[in-house]
Structure formats: C-alpha cells, structure tokens
Amino acid sequence: MDREFEFKQILRAFRAGIIGKAAFDEEMARLEGNGSSNGADGGFRAFGRTYKSERDAVISFLDKVRAGEANGGEAFAAWAAVCKTDCIHTGLHIIAEREAYHARVFEQRLLELGGEKRATAGEEGLKFRTYLSDPNVPDTEKLLSFTKKVGDAKEAVRPIHEFAALLKDDLATKEALKLFADDELSSVTWIWEVCATLNAPQRAAAPAPEQAEKAAM
Ligand SMILES: [Fe+2]
C-alpha cells in the first residue's frame, strides 16, 4: 500500500474514533519505522538479503560505508604522506578528503535516523591501509594493487546506484548516494588513469618475459 495513502487512512480512522490514541501511535510508529517493503514477505530486499524494513537496510548500509570510508580516508592520507610520485600526491589528498567527508556525512545521516555506530573497517580494509601506508612499496605497485582490488570503476559503483534506486522513503539518503557514487567513480577512474600512465613506461622499457628469457639463454 502507498505509504501516504496508508497514513491518511490511519489518520481518518483515528479522527472518526475507529481506533484509539494508543493504536494510532502504534500504527504511526510502524509507518515511520518500516516504510516501504519490496519483498514478498513484507521485508526489504537489498544486497542479496532481506531487511526488516527500508530503514533497517539504510542504517546497515550507512554504518558499513561510514566505517569503510573512514578507513579509506586514513589509508589515502597515509599513502599521500609517503608518496614519492610528485604528480599524484595532491590527487591522493583529494581522494583522502573525499573518503573522510563521506564518512562524516554518512555518520551524521546514520545518527539522524536513530542508528548507532557499530561497524568497523574489517580486517581486509585495515590490511590494505597498512599496505598503502608502507613507504617501501612503490607507488606504481600500489596503483596496480588498487585497480586489481577495486576492478572496473563503473562496476564498482553499480551497487550504490542499485541500492539508491530501491529507496522509496528515505529520499535524503537516496540523493546523497548518487553524489557518493559520482565521487567514487571519479576517484577510481583517476586511479586507473594514473596507473596506466605511470606503469606504461616501465612496461615499455622492460623486455617482455619471453624476450628476457631468450636474451638470458
Ligand atoms: Fe570510498
């Protein structure tokens, strides 16, 4: 049922004295809390699982993304601090700032929705942060590792767009997710570009493995 319609029906029932104040409050809380469902069982399907409601799915998503982006912000800031390739270090700072503000904005939205900060960066995220902050790993190798890990830029942000498209009640998060996806696409696309540019001369200069083998014979 359309949420707006349901709201009017409940209000009408209350005004007409069909339901009492307690039932009215309970119905309102249910509407506020649950919102739209998109699953046959009344749940909200997203990311291959069913949440109790759209709100639950949003809170879970915001919490995980908030934690991941905060870690990403620290990881890129640490990389920028040890970066030896002059032409990328300011770009790395921009990505670090993007990641950090995504974390701040999503934390704020999470708290606005009554959610709690529960998620942590996760072992893989922390490991990657340590790797990116290592001054002994060349920037070219970090770029290659990042592109391998994240994969195609458009594919990487597709789940964000898909999730945003599912949201029917929380329009504030829905719109924010579109901007978030654009930022992520820009960051990942830029890394792919600099990765190709900075790794190209090395590859051209180094003999192909077969040639090197022949030369060594
Ligand atoms: Fe990110």
Q: How far is CA 42 from CA 45, 53, 135, 194, 211, in A?
A: 9, 8, 51, 46, 62
Would the pTM count as exceeding 0.85? no
pLDDT band at 211 (very low <50, low <70, confident <90, very high): very low
pLDDT of 217 reads 41
Of 196, 212, 210, nearest to 88 by C-alpha is 196
Secondary structure element (H or E) that encloses residue 70, with its range:
helix 54-82
CATH number of the structural domain 56-202: 1.20.1260
Distance 183 CA to ligand 1 centre (A): 8
CA–CA distances in Å: residue 75 to residues 6, 61, 186, 213: 46, 21, 17, 38
* pLDDT on residue 42: 74
Ligand 1: centre distance to CA 33 (Å): 28
146 C-alpha to ligand 1 centroid (Å):
12
Of 16-25, 59-68, 131-140, 181-190, the poorest mean pLDDT is in 16-25
Nearest of 42, 40, 14, 36 to residue 27 by alpha carbon: 14
Distance 63 CA to ligand 1 centre (A): 13
What pLDDT score was predicted for residue 214? Answer: 42
**Cβ atoms of 154 and 185 closer than 8 Å:** yes
Cα(108)–Cα(115) distance, rounded to whole angstroms? 10
pLDDT band at 13 (very low <50, low <70, confident <90, very high): low
Residues 67, 106 contacting (CB under 8 angstroms): no
pLDDT at 41: 65
CA of 99 to the centre of ligand 1 (A): 5
C-alpha of residue 121 to centroid of ligand 1, in Å: 12
Q: Which pLDDT score, from 0 to 100, does residue 170 have?
A: 97
Residue 53 Cα, ligand 1 centroid: separation in angstroms? 25
Q: Which residues contact 196 (CB under 8 A, 6 or more apart)?
A: none
Coil, strand or helix: which one is 45? strand
Ligand 1 mean position, distance from CA 207 (Å): 36
Least confidently predicted of 108-112, 120-124, 211-215: 211-215
Higher-pLDDT residue of 11, 161: 161
What residues have a C-beta under 5 A from ligand 1, the ion?
72, 99
Residue 43: alpha-carbon gap to chain centroid: 22
